[in-house]
């Protein structure tokens, strides 16, 4: 049955299997260079720069969520559309009790060609690219990911990162310690990069506190910690911060009031040290955030800021 499925899918493929392997490898190498090893997102237009054997090759379908090129025996990529301001949920993906992610079928027909392409990718155990929307026409590529199971009744596939794929067990319940490890791995490989790219896009890749604009020196800080069992944190629970201000924020040295005014802990205000303390921290005291998202629905959640600010005050 499995062999017949792959044979049926392969009828449309008109190149040798080694092209499939080379294409996936070169595509992922291209994405690593263009995204600064996953630190930055990429635009739909920039994806059109990818070529192989001298010809442009689409890595992402322009109209559908599953890219199954005619040259390949199975799907190459999947994509998740960005939810515009006001449409997004605090956590946007679906996580199963095993800690792995779910990706919905294309429609409800199991024999839809796109669904067959993903099913073939599962049988062939080939790596795919997941383009996760982080803004209008901007995506965070996550790779490699693998289809490890299908849940036909829920019209969805089970998606795992490389490490989680090797730990996935279909025949028995996942032990709690293993499930938590899989959740942590998924957060590291998918949740955190997507959260970072969404926050960086909202803040125009600048520190909210000091407006520093170098991507390599910026983090996406959580206003309040996200739960281990949940999905990708909303941009409203995030702040773009340079590494110094992020560390100070997490250590409750720097606090942000609900009205977006920065405060520095009192004991540091009277301390005398070098220029970093003087100009990097103390000088920020009492000033408004220098950068906030222009879209109101993407600005920091007031209730989350209140909770964080209370912790800052308690630590003073």
Say what the pLDDT of residue 168 is: 66
Higher pLDDT, 149 or 96: 149
With cut-offs at 50, 70 and 90, classify the pLDDT of residue 175. confident
With cut-offs at 50, 70 and 90, classify the pLDDT of residue 2. very low
Q: Could you tell me how far CA 151 lies from the centroid of its own chain?
A: 23
| d(C-alpha 268, C-alpha 51), whole Å | 54
Phi-psi region of 312 (alpha: psi -120 to 50; beta: other; left: phi over 0): alpha
Q: Hey, is 52 helix, strand or coil?
A: strand
Task: Count the neighbouring beta carbons within 10 Å of the beta carbon of residue 292.
Answer: 17
Higher pLDDT, 169 or 179: 179
Residue linked to tokens 């599953």: 66
Task: Count the neighbouring beta carbons within 10 Å of the beta carbon of residue 53.
Answer: 10
Say what the pLDDT of residue 230 is: 52
In this predicted structure, which of 71-85, 163-177, 284-298 has the lowest mean pLDDT? 163-177
| d(C-alpha 284, C-alpha 145), whole Å | 42
Question: Mean per-residue pLDDT for 119-131?
Answer: 97
| 125, 137 Cβ separation under 8 angstroms | no
Q: Answer yes or no: is pLDDT of 16 > 70.
A: no
| d(C-alpha 267, C-alpha 34), whole Å | 44
The residues with which 151 forms a beta bridge, in sequence order, are 156
| 198, 231 Cβ separation under 8 angstroms | no
Pairing of strands 128-135, 77-80: parallel
Q: Answer yes or no: is pLDDT of 260 > 90.
A: yes
Kindly report, residue by residue over 178-224, the tens digit of the pLDDT: 777 877 888 788 889 999 999 999 999 999 999 999 999 999 999 99
Say what the pLDDT of residue 14 is: 55
Residue linked to tokens 């996935």: 168
| 180, 174 Cβ separation under 8 angstroms | no
| Percent of the chain predicted with pLDDT > 70 | 87
Query: Cβ contacts of residue 230 below 8 Å, gap of 6+?
Result: 90, 91, 95
Tokens of 68: 């199954």
The residues with which 51 forms a beta bridge, in sequence order, are 56
Instruction: Report the chain's C-alpha Rg in angstroms.
Output: 22
Q: Answer yes or no: is pLDDT of 4 > 60.
A: no
Cis link prior to 230 (omega < 30° from 0)? Answer: no
With cut-offs at 50, 70 and 90, classify the pLDDT of residue 229. very low
With cut-offs at 50, 70 and 90, classify the pLDDT of residue 1. very low
Total residue length of the chain: 316
What's the whole-model pTM score?
0.85
Say what the pLDDT of residue 13 is: 53
């Amino acid at each position: 049955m499995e062999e017949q499925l792959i044979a049926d899918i392969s009828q449309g493929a008109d190149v040798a299997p080694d092209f499939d392997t080379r294409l996936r490898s070169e595509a992922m190498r291209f994405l690593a260079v263009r995204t600064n090893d996953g630190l930055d997102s990429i635009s739909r237009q920039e994806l059109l720069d990818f070529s192989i054997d001298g010809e442009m090759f689409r890595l992402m379908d322009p109209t559908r969520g599953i890219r199954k090129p005619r040259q390949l025996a199975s799907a190459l990529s999947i994509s998740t559309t960005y939810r515009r301001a006001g449409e997004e949920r605090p956590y946007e993906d679906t996580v199963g009790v095993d800690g792995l992610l779910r990706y919905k079928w294309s429609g409800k027909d199991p024999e839809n060609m796109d669904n067959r392409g993903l099913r073939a990718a599962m049988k062939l155990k080939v790596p795919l690219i997941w383009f996760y929307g982080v803004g209008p026409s901007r995506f965070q590529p996550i790779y490699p990911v693998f289809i490890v199971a299908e849940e036909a009744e829920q019209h969805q596939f089970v998606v795992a990162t490389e490490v989680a794929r090797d730990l996935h067990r279909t025949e028995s319940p996942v032990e709690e310690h293993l499930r938590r490890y899989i959740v942590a791995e998924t957060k590291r490989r998918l949740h955190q990069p997507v959260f970072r790219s969404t926050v960086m896009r909202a803040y125009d890749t600048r520190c909210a506190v000091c407006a520093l604009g170098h991507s390599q020196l910026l983090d996406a800080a959580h206003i309040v910690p996200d739960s281990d069992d949940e999905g990708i944190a909303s941009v409203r629970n995030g702040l773009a911060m340079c590494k110094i201000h992020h560390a100070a924020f997490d250590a409750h040295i720097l606090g942000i009031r609900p009205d977006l005014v920065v405060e520095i802990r009192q004991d540091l205000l009277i301390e005398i040290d070098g220029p970093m303390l003087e100009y990097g921290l103390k000088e920020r005291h009492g000033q408004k955030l220098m950068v906030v998202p222009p879209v109101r629905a993407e600005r920091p959640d007031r209730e989350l800021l209140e909770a964080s600010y209370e912790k800052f005050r308690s630590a003073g």
